[in-house]
């Protein structure tokens, strides 16, 4: 076990987090290591082999606890890889010292599609973890390949410790029932159609759209990427905007109402 003082304290401002989203966009588009230095990716087949080796890696799952345990309100009922450590992305920096005993182990970060896990891996590498890799394709690719997951509750990671931002004020539309977004009485000043875009497209386009609005105006965002259930509330939080309402529909589309505060 190592002294936790060997792990650097990392504090990330809202501005720096937005910059990380921008760098992630360019990395995704051009696959150029300059944008996210010091971060390696690992394919799901390679991860499966490592997990069955004599020295399996440490899995850090950065998704919301609802998705980690595949509870009601989660998008796809994947669950998580056995023995994963649940550290939602917005709470990663606050929990780095708890992960200090694994500083010199192989660590694999996981998110829905392999985008936010790159940011998590970069943060951990800068904090002093020696071998951090991001799972390429995320838990989506892991499940697509048919590798095993579990929904078993781990007492070290209670479901209600980190409440889902998405679940607060979200609703699923049923026939004859108003959704939370429909109950919102304010005007929508702009609608962003980010459907059919994968991570980090919805977040980056939302950033551009909200910059064009005046303080107090409202942006409606439409997406089809399941990762936006976690990414959009996180983006609103780190940029200081107000997530008024969220909605997921029966045709697997997601709707977010965001008010510009700054």
127, 199, 209, 244: the catalytic one is 199
199 belongs to the catalytic site: yes
SS (H, E, C) the chain: CCCHHHCCCCCCCHHHHHHHHHHHHHHHHHCCCCCCCCCEEECHHHHHHHHCCCCCCEEEECCCHHHHHCCCCCCCCCCECCCCEECCHHHCHHHCHHHHHHCCCEEEEECCCCCHHHHHHHHHHHHCCCEEEEECCHHHHHHHCCCCCECCCCCCCCCCCCCCCCCCCEEECCCCCCCHHHHCCCCCCEEEEECCCCCCHHHHHHHHHHHCCCCCCEEEEEECCCCHHHHHHHHHHHCCCEEEEEEECCCCCEEEEEECCC
- Torsion sign across C-alpha atoms 93, 95, 99, 101: positive
d(CA 230, CA 74): 10
Region class of 61: left (phi > 0), else alpha (psi between -120 and 50), else beta: beta
d(CA 27, CA 248): 29
Which residues are catalytic, by number?
199
């Amino acid at each position: 076990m190592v002294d936790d003082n060997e792990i650097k304290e990392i504090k990330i401002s809202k501005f720096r987090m937005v910059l990380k989203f921008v760098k992630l966009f360019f990395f995704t588009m051009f696959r150029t290591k300059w944008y996210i230095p010091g971060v390696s990716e690992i394919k799901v087949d390679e991860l499966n082999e490592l997990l069955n080796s004599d020295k399996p890696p440490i899995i850090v799952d950065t998704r919301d606890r609802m998705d980690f345990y595949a509870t009601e309100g989660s998008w796809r009922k994947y669950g998580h890889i056995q023995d994963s450590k649940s550290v939602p992305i917005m709470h990663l920096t606050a929990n780095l010292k708890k992960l200090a005993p694994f500083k010199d182990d192989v660590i694999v970060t996981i998110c829905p599609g392999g985008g936010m896990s790159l940011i998590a891996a970069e943060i951990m590498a800068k904090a002093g973890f020696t071998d951090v890799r991001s799972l390429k394709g995320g838990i989506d690719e892991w499940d697509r390949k048919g590798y095993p997951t579990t929904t078993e509750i781990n007492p070290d990671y209670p479901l209600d410790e980190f409440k889902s931002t998405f679940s607060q004020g979200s609703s699923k539309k049923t026939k004859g029932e108003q959704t939370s977004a429909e109950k919102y009485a304010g005007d929508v000043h702009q609608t962003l159609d980010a459907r059919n875009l994968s991570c980090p497209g919805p977040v980056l386009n939302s950033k551009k759209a909200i910059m064009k609005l005046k303080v107090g105006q409202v942006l409606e965002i439409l997406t089809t990427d399941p990762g936006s259930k976690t990414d959009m509330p996180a983006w609103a939080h780190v940029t200081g905007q107000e997530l008024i309402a969220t909605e997921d529909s029966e045709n697997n589309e997601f709707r977010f109402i965001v008010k510009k505060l700054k």
